[in-house]
Structure 1
Amino acid sequence: MRVLIVGKIWPEPTSSAAGTRTHDLIRALVSRNWELHFACSAQTSPYSSQLSELFPVQTHEIELNSSSFDLWVQALGPDIVIFDRYMTEEQFGWRVAQSCPNALRVIDTSDLHCLREARHQSLKTGQPINLQNETALREIAAILRSDLSLIISETEMEILSKHFHVPQNSIAYWPFALPRPQQDSPTFSEREHFVMIGSFLHEPNWDAVRFCNEAIWPKIREKLPEAQLHVYGSYPPPKAQQLHNESKGFHVLGRAKNAIETLSRYRLNLAPLRFGAGLKGKIVDAFLAGTPSIATPIAVEGMGNNTDWSSQVSDDPLQFANEASRLYQDQIAWSQAQANGYQIAETRFAESEWLPRLPEILEKAQANREENRKRNFVGQLLNHHHHRSTEFMSRWIEAKNRNQPHSP
């Protein structure tokens, strides 16, 4: 089987959970000895993975709005093409459909962007959550155009099925794939202080830092005046760095070289997310680090309805701060919360279960591809109209770029 992953950016596992997700995709696919290719039109960064050095994968630079991609992908002849976001499908899906009509087209959604956007708007306006937003029109259309979409959260599986009426054979649950926790991390007495972690490029993380700084951390400091909060995140903007205040114990420290090693030094992880979607990398990294989390309902969504956190899950600032202060000082409760985190990682997201599952999901979808396409009339309709409009726009941009005079 020859598989092509088309990425919006080159993966950066040290910057965000999205980069780790891409690594998980690759790990799952190379386990079958499939021929694997990764293509991207973005520039690399100092933090981009050296994929060809880490995995048996061939990497390729491609161009946006260029017919060179059509000739290249046709010559490559992939059996499966995976787009790492719905926006990537918008850019390249129609080209793959025209050049490789028999290839299975898959979106790895990472999380439902329309759900995240709906929650963000609700937070800003105080109005009920409205999933019928502009992002949904694009995202659900991309899902319906594709043969299969990988969904990271059972909550989002339900939303797609019941609210948007996406056919069951068009979506598949595939969450994080976590290694077995070592369970030899520093003890309660060897740890101190609080930690927050998450890329500042991700708007829910930046909102959580501001919310914590304004509404939660002052209440924790009233109870624990010597405590400190260390905030880690890639790409911190000046507005985040301005929150750094040593006299208040609020430290903005920037990128963490290794999230799990960093988390393992702290007694508690704070995750006061007020909007977002999908599974949260900061929570599962804390499981692996043996660091209990004090979290909001958004932060723990998708972890399991009957999950025992050994702490109250709340988005009320006072309750959140009280729980953080209590667990910080209660070694018995802290140890139980740590044990529960280990158990969740092992029973819900073990890589031994989920890495082998992905090739099976893709093989089944590949075998049923033609029959599922015939049944998906809405997908056929969307492919026809979207591909024509997107093709004309893309070819217009290509012609415009070709005719632009070069700088001397």
Structure 2
Amino acid sequence: MHKILVIGYVWPEPRSSAAGSRMIELLELFRKQGWSVSFASAAALSEHRADLSSLQIPELQIALNCDSFDALVSELQPDMVLFDRYFTEEQFAWRVERAWPQALRVLDTSDLHCLRDARQHLLKTAQQACDSEAKRHQVPAVTADMDTLYQVMASHDMAQREIAAIYRSDLTLMISDFEVQLLQQRFGVPPALLMHNPLMLIPPVVEPLPFEQRQHFISIGNFRHAPNWDSVLWLKNVLWPMVRQRLPNAQLHVYGAYPPPKATALHNPKQGFLVLGWADDAHEVMTRARVCLAPLRFGAGIKGKLADAMACGTPNVTTAIGSEGMHGELAWGGAIVADAEAFAEAAVALHEDPTLWQQAQDNGRTILEQRFAREPLGDELIARLQRLFEQREQHRVDNFIGRMLRHHTLKSTQYMSQWIAAKTAAK
């Protein structure tokens, strides 16, 4: 039986974000193997966090820049440590290597943060070139190709840090195949260091409601996530008025965890724009909606909201960024559009045409079956990890760049952390 230590950036909240759902998928997979799993985080406990005790996973509170973590690792003696996002790897990987070097060090990126950052930079640059607020709202989704993205990413500190963390790790899990291609083709990351492991979804067990029993549009997403907040603003200022012009009685129900006052202030029943905040059951509200709207102008990874929409049989309208990494060559479960006019037209068409709507629902079901089936994806991940357990030493010898980066890059992080720990102890 393997012993696994997971170090979370936050405590997993599967009802708040796709990242939270992703973490629960991994924890459930490890426990299904009979592996012993512990979950540790330096974050404050959250009221919406998952009940890990139901999976027989102990919760361990740890501290940043504290040698007590080294003692914890030495006591646990894990066979593998999973780092939740690159900044967790920066903080704790050198301590794991020092305290228990045998442990496999696996990074789960959740999404490629530096890619999201680059696209946000491109969107802001385009908006700053506009001479009015109205024109800034009209700027469409970022459509930069891989070469352009590389030029932006390569000059940014975030990409250097995140890709260094990928090289330092024994394996990095990527949920988007586009991101795997970007890392391999433009940043030269060896295939041996990466594994495409998308969301591992449970097949729907209930037949979705038919077209006639649904009404209204829905938009959903954690308000703390910058791409989601930007999409709400684009909906409010540009897209929804265009839809309402065509469908005067339509309603858009906007759900999401942690709505700030600036979000609730957008609530306007006269415009059919209803900011409803937290949804106790995201699938329940998604199942009742006729069309899901996800106008993402920047972002990365795989969009949990769109996976949920397809699982609930709800066609969606999104951008190329929203659908990225999700459907390969398969027909999309709705519409992928590039600008505001096309977005409004597609939204209205799906809302009003039952034949088009049914085809989109069928496409979504096919995508889930062929690209997000839990069992085969889980089996592939476990098999890859088992090979790494057996071939760890040679795998690390082959990753010379990673060894070199661990020797040099993390020294500054290590020494700063040790200085903070010593200063704290002296007080």
Tell me if TM exceeds 0.5.
yes
Which of 397, 403, 406 is matched with 1:374 structurally? 397
Offset, 1:366: 2.0
Question: Is residue 310–residue 333 contact of structure 2 (8 Å, CA) maintained in 1?
Answer: no
Judging changes above 3 Å, is the alpha-carbon distance between structure 1 residues 65 and 362 closer, same or farther for their aligned structure 2 residues? Answer: same
The 2-side partners of 1:71 and 1:264 are apart by 48
Name the structure 2 match of 1:400: 423
CA separation in 2, counterparts of 1:307 and 1:120?
27
Correspondence for 2:239 among 208, 216, 221: 216
1:400 is paired with a residue whose SS is helix
Q: Are 1:287 and 1:342, in contact at CA under 8 Å, matched by a contact in 2?
A: yes
Partner of 1:23: 24
* 1:7-406 superposed matches below 5 A: 7-52=8-53, 54-126=54-126, 128-129=148-149, 130-132=152-154, 133-309=156-332, 311-404=334-427
Contact 2:315–2:334 (CA<8 Å) still a contact in 1? no
* 3-state DSSP of counterpart to 1:226: coil
Aligned mates of 1:315, 1:271 — CA distance in 2: 12
Q: Which amino acid aligns with 2:295?
A: P
In structure 2, the CA distance between the partners of 1:310 and 1:235, relative to structure 1 (3 Å rule), is closer
Letter in 2 for 1:296: T
Structure 2 unaligned spans of 5+: 127-143
Matched letter for residue 110 of structure 1: S
Which amino acid in the other structure matches residue 364 of structure 1?
Answer: R
- In structure 2, how many angstroms separate the alpha carbons of the residues matched to 1:151 and 1:403? 42
Instruction: Answer whether contact 2:315 2:333 (CA < 8 A) is retained.
Output: no
Contact kept? 2:65, 2:418, Cα under 8 Å: yes
Give the equivalent residue in structure 2 for 1:2: 3
One-letter identity of the residue aligned with 2:63: E
Distance 2:11 2:323 in 1: 28
Range with greater deviation from structure 2 (179-188 or 252-261): 179-188
How far apart, CA to CA, are the structure 1 residues paired with 2:333 and 2:3? 45
SS at match of 1:368: helix
Matched letter for residue 119 of structure 1 = R
- Quote the offset at 1:212 in angstroms: 1.0
**Mapped contact 1:192–1:267 kept (Cα < 8 A):** yes
1:249-284 deviation per Cα after TM superposition (whole angstroms, max 9, x unaligned) = 001111111111110010000010010001000000
Output the amino acid matched with 2:383: E
Separation in structure 1 between the aligned mates of residue 220 and residue 333 of structure 2, nearest angstrom: 21
CA contact (8 A) 2:86 2:109 kept: yes
Q: Judge conservation of contact 1:73–1:99 (CA < 8 Å) in 2.
A: yes
Deviation at 1:310, TM superposition (A): 6.0
Q: Higher mean Cα deviation, 2-11 or 299-308?
A: 299-308
CA distance in 1, matches of 2:333, 2:204: 19
Please report how far the alpha carbon of residue 183 of structure 1 lies from its aligned counterpart in structure 2 after TM superposition: 5.0
4+ runs deviating over 3 angstroms: none
How many angstroms apart in 1 are the aligned matches of 2:9 and 2:404?
A: 25
The residue type paired with residue 284 of structure 2 is E
Q: How far 1:26 sits from its partner (Å)?
A: 0.7
SS at match of 1:195: strand
Residues matched between the structures, number: 403
State the Cα RMSD in Å. Answer: 1.3
Contact conserved, 2:294 with 2:317, CA < 8 A, in 1? yes
Residue identity in the other structure for 1:125 = T
Letter of the aligned partner of 2:420 in structure 1? I
1: CA distance, partners of 2:268 / 2:283: 25
- 1:57 and 1:109 map into 2 onto residues whose CA distance is 22
The answer on whether the counterparts of 1:272 and 1:315 sit within 8 Å (CA) in structure 2 is no
Change (3 A) 1:297 1:386: same
- Partner SS for 1:131: helix
In 2: Cα distance, 1:139 partner to 1:291 partner: 35
Q: State the shift of 1:59 in Å.
A: 2.0
2-structure distance, mates of 1:183, 1:335: 16
Q: Deviations for 1:189-222, whole angstroms, at most 9, x for unmatched residues? A: 1110000000011000000000111111001001
Change in Cα spacing, 1:185 to 1:312, as seen in structure 2 (3 Å) is closer
